[in-house]
Structure 1
Amino acid sequence: MSEPSRYISGNVSQLKPSGIRKFFDLAANMEGVISLGVGEPDFITSWNVREACIQSLEQGYTAYTANAGMLELRKEICSYLNSRFALNYDASSEVMVTVGASQALDLSLRAILNPGEEVLLIEPCFVSYEPLIRLCGGIPVSVSAREENSFKPTAADIEKKITQKTKALILCSPNNPTGAQLTKKELQEVSLLAEKHDLLVIADEIYAELSYEEAYTSFSSLPGMRERTILVSGFSKGFAMTGWRLGYACAPAPLLAAMLKIHQYSMMCAPTMAQHAALEALTNGLADVDSMKRSYRQRRNLFVEGLREIGFSCHLPGGAFYAFPSIKNTGLSSDEYAESLLLEEKVAVVPGSVFGSCGEGFVRCSYASSVEQLQEALKRMERHLKKLQASSNIVSERMRKEA
């Protein structure tokens, strides 16, 4: 009998399963777990947005839309980007609606990469970046963002990794998993590098609406960057629409046309009813976005302060809804700590190592949970830390006596 696995592509065989899902699946089979693991808003999509979807079904909008998405929605995306972030795109040739921001990212990489070309990643970074690059035959190159710099890359760090094979840089700000947000000045320094080395920048701006300390600067709004930027975003995070799977890409017409060719053959179009919902979200849902943002900011302050009070070092994230505390004082690896915390105290977090090797020694905690759950999680994490420290002291004392 033949072995079916022999037909699987080598590229796919080498991919590792998502480290985020590993702990999410473990937690799903346990009772009483507080999950700080999956990056998903705890808000339900606003009623008016859900109602727009229902009405679209009742009115029979069940056919395909244009490959690039409903023109009315693309026009509204342009209006939204202009009013919120001072961006100007042409709805007919520079905007495409996708099945989540993840598909927009996939299309971006497939449209630009030739085998052997390099893409710079600022690590720790979202778990999908490296696999998607490899599936295109590209080579991911890591640029480490360090805790002492609040997990922000410096221009010098980036430039050291640029070679003649470097094609693009993926930039996510605010960042998943660290929550680090680059200032306008810091983005400008990166833009000078992009121009100097003729790099394309894929700007993952899915967390643009969740910026807490300063007005958000979109990378393509910087001088000279519009023509070398693919903006990737969507409705999942800021609009609490994760399950709707709706995103978009904005890029100069030639790049967008290349992405659209792939989209035509692989996906046809994004779900019609979700597009109607997104149109309502942009037209009448921004007040809800602002309200959710205020709530996240409050929870961020509560949770980060709580982590510090119980004994963890943690920088204050500028955006998104993640805290990225150091767990080096436990003596455990990030994977060991996450598993121990889940099994002993039923709190699910994600090991920092799944976001790149420089994430080792940290864990990602999503504070997109209720205040009550966050407070309870902190109590459990404090109890767990004290047990680990007590155990470590006992071992140290035993070794001292034996010596």
Structure 2
Amino acid sequence: MKNISSKLPNAKTTIFTTIGNLARQHNAIDLSQGFPNFEADSKLMRLVTKAMSDGYNQYAPMFGSFPLREAIVQKIKALHGKSYHVEKEITITVGATQAIYTAITAFVNQGDEVIVFKPAYDCYEPAIAINGGVSILVEMNGDRFKIDWEKFRVRITPKTKMVIINTPHNPSGTLLSKNDMLALQQSLLGTDIILISDEVYEHIVFDDLTHESVSRFPDLASRSIVCGSFGKTFHVTGWKVGYCVAPAELMQEFRKIHQFNVFSVDHPTQRALAQYLQEPKHYLELSDFYQKKRDYFINALNQSSFKVLPSQGTYFQLLDYSALTDENDVSYAQKLITNHRLACIPISVFNIDQKDNQKLRFCFAKTQATLKKAINILNSLK
């Protein structure tokens, strides 16, 4: 046992666990992790119960329940104009994280390079490392975290196997525009590079902006595995149900890993989601629902010492605290918990070399009462 060789020798406890433990220790208001503190639609709950009563309690098909796959394919066609084959080009997964991990495992081999835009959600790079790949990090610029596409193109080499994008973007709350997607598409023309598009916040977009799914762009769609999450969309992150769509030749390889990894996903939940998706308002009204929460949160901070650039999507809002202190963001986030009983996530942990831009991420997927308590604390800081 002394000769164990770790596949992730430098892996540490995630910031989410660290902050979460500290928040519980100090009974802090928790705006750190990305999950709602309110219940999902009771109709959806009843549909799950009914599916159990109707006997859908054994293994679902490995690809996913047909009615759910069909409902997702119809949704994508209606929203983005792209038709995916219900049998060959969609798989239901245990959340989007499993979809991303499985996609990386299916295609990344020893020495392959994968381009990741930073700041980035923390599940990408460990999965690349486990599979022997090399993460090539490209920093996003400015308060709106824009991608310099010339800088990106320089990082493409003969070893580049994959690129990972995330829009709407966690942790910044920004979107990739149509021009961004066209620039990415042009950059990858003539290559065999695979694209993973993490679109888990696809239905949470503000100020009449548009979520530019990879599925809208023919060449990108032809090389992409697009990942989504019902947990984010329907306030049920604990259910861990997601999906991915991809061209048949990519999905075939994806499923080879998926079948030996999880095989299938919770069956009654899939049946319930398939029925719930029949009413498009359940996801089409989500942007308005969360924009009201975003607007309440940021408008109440107008007279605070924080600099606020409104989130364009997701249910996260960044706050710049540079007018308050020169303290680094990890230390300041911990102090907010211990001194003021308010938890958030420091952004430096997602940056290249933990670069500190003095920004904190707050989740506003909370009840009005919770947000009001948090706002009172933030407004008191001078």
Q: Same fold (TM over 0.5)?
A: yes
What is the RMSD computed on CA atoms of the aligned residues? 1.8
SS of residue matched to 1:324: strand
Q: How does 1:4-403 map to 2 (within 5 A)?
A: 6-7=3-4, 9-31=5-27, 33-148=28-143, 150-213=144-207, 214-284=209-279, 286-307=280-301, 309-329=303-323, 330-356=325-351, 357-358=354-355, 360-384=357-381, 386=382
- Relative to the length of structure 1, the TM-score reads 0.89
The answer (yes or no) to whether the contact 2:305–2:321 under 8 Å persists in 1 is no
Distance 1:218 1:17, change over 3 A: same
**Aligned residue pair count:** 378
Listed as ranges, the gaps of 5+ residues in structure 2 are none
Aligned-residue identity in percent = 26
Per-residue deviation, residues 239-275 of structure 1 (Å, max 9, x unmatched) = 2121111011111111111111111112110111121
**Structure of larger gyration radius:** 1
Per-residue deviation, residues 31-67 of structure 1 (Å, max 9, x unmatched) = 3x21110111334221221111111111221111211
Kindly indicate which of the two structures has a greater share of residues assigned to helix: 1
The answer (yes or no) to whether the contact 2:67–2:271 under 8 Å persists in 1 is no
**Runs of 4+ with deviation above 4 angstroms:** none
Bigger Cα displacement from structure 2, 22-31 vs 96-105? 22-31
Q: Output the amino acid matched with 2:243.
A: Y
Q: Give me the whole-angstrom Cα distance separating, in 2, the residues matched to 1:246 and 1:222.
A: 26
The answer (yes or no) to whether the contact 2:38–2:367 under 8 Å persists in 1 is no
Q: Give me the whole-angstrom Cα distance separating, in 2, the residues matched to 1:307 and 1:146.
A: 25
Q: Give me the whole-angstrom Cα distance separating, in 2, the residues matched to 1:112 and 1:359.
A: 33
Q: Give me the whole-angstrom Cα distance separating, in 1, the residues matched to 2:374 and 2:175.
A: 25
Q: Give the C-alpha shift of residue 198 in structure 1.
A: 4.0
Per-residue deviation, residues 121-147 of structure 1 (Å, max 9, x unmatched) = 111111111111111111112111122
The answer (yes or no) to whether the contact 2:171–2:361 under 8 Å persists in 1 is yes
The answer (yes or no) to whether the contact 1:349–1:365 under 8 Å persists in 2 is yes
Listed as ranges, the gaps of 5+ residues in structure 1 are 387-403
Q: Output the amino acid matched with 2:148.
A: T
The answer (yes or no) to whether the contact 1:35–1:349 under 8 Å persists in 2 is yes
- Relative to the length of structure 2, the TM-score reads 0.94
The answer (yes or no) to whether the contact 2:141–2:148 under 8 Å persists in 1 is no
